[in-house]
Amino acid sequence: MSHHMLDATNLLCPMPVIRTQDRVAELEPGDILEVHCTDPGALHDIPAWCRVNGHHVVDTQQADNKIIVTLRVGS
């Protein structure tokens, strides 16, 4: 189980979701991915993408214009 980061700042939806999806495809079940974004749409879209595809949102944070969604890769 390992911890990873993805920089999706300055990308507009749905690009942060697409980048998350492509990154998760390279990870193992149980791995943690921290996605950094600036488009507030990501706060909805990344969790929705996780629900649909069987991954788990561990945490979401929003401060200033920065959003961090942390997810655990499902099996």
Partner 1 sequence: MNTPRKAVALISGGLDSMLAAKVILDQGVHVEGINFFTGFCVEGHTHAIRNQDRKKPKRNNALWVAEQLGIKLHIVDVIEQYKDVVINPKHGYGANLNPCLDCKGFMVRKANEWVNAHGFDFIITGEVIGQRPMSQRRDTMPVIAQESGAEDRLLRPLCAKLLPETLPEREAWVDRDALYDFNGRSRKPQIALAKQFGIEDYAQPAGGCCFLTDEKYSDKLRDLWATQGEKRYEIDDIMLLKVGRHLRPRPNFKLIIGRDSGENNYLKGYRHRFTYMYGTSHNGPLVLIEGQTSDSDLELAARITARFGQGRDADNVHIDVVEQTGSPRHFEVTPLTSNEMQEAWYI
Question: Do 55 and 33 form a contact (C-beta atoms < 8 A)?
Answer: no
Quick one: 2 or 63, whose CB is closer to partner 1?
Answer: 63
Quick one: 3 or 26, whose CB is closer to partner 1?
Answer: 26
Quick one: 1 or 13, whose CB is closer to partner 1?
Answer: 13
Smallest gap from Cβ 1 to partner 1, in A, equals 23
Give, as ranges, the residues between 12 and 41 that touch partner 1 (CB under 8 A): 12-15, 17-18, 21, 39-41
Q: At what angle do helices 15-24 and 42-53 cross, to 10 degrees?
A: 40
- The residues, any chain, with a CB within 8 Å of residue 61's CB and separated by 6 or more, are 67, 68
CA distance 75 to 67: 25
Interacting residues toward partner 1 by CB under 8 A: 10, 12-15, 17-18, 21, 39-41, 44-45, 48-49, 51-54
